[in-house]
Amino acid sequence: MVCLVSRTGRQFQRYNNMGGRQVVGCIPYRFKEGSDGNMSNEIEVLLISSQKGQKFMFPKGGWELDESIEEAAYRESLEEAGVLGIVECQLGQWNFISKRYGTYYEGHMFPLFVKEQLDLWPEKNVRQRIWMTVPEAIEVCQHWWMKEALDTLVQRLKSTLQQKEDVAVTEFFIESSL
């Protein structure tokens, strides 16, 4: 059962030692299905609209005292984008100034390999979600630091795919020489 209410308020919000609010987000991603029905190597990412406008970004929100950083990332993806999946290793940490409040924030981003997309989720009525290619996401994402996180994710995934290809080729040559 999935909770259909978003957390609100800042009484449990984490702040760093400089007084900056700590926020956590995810880049929900999947591999595009090819015309043959198999997964391709092309990455798609899920962006959401802001609550008060039509600007797009990745799910993110406050990291609260009663949760780990990974739990916060998972919760934000569920609340804002309605997706469930596997939170992977952190992409990095960025410091930025909030456009809305003019204060420093500390942002942490994680990849979320999407396993399930829900029809109902807590912020369904206040957000749109859309799957995009990486170039499309870079074009429309409103936050520079999220674009940097996306670039880090793409480089990591390319490296992982290359390693898998290298292992497969090596295994082929080993088997062929036996």
Q: Which pLDDT tens digit goes with each residue over 7-45?
A: 555 678 899 888 889 999 999 999 988 888 788 888 999
Domain presence at residue 175: no
In a domain, 162, yes or no: no
Per-residue pLDDT of 64-103, as tens digits, reads 999 999 999 999 999 999 999 999 999 999 999 887 767 8
Query: CA–CA separation, 131 vs 153, rounded Å?
Result: 16
Residue 79 structural domain: 21-153
> pTM of the entire structure?
0.84
Q: What's the CATH number where 48 sits? A: 3.90.79.10
The rounded percent of the chain whose pLDDT value lies above 90 is 65
**Torsions phi, psi of 108, nearest 5?**
-120, 135
Q: Is residue 159 part of a domain?
A: no
Report how many domains make up the chain.
1
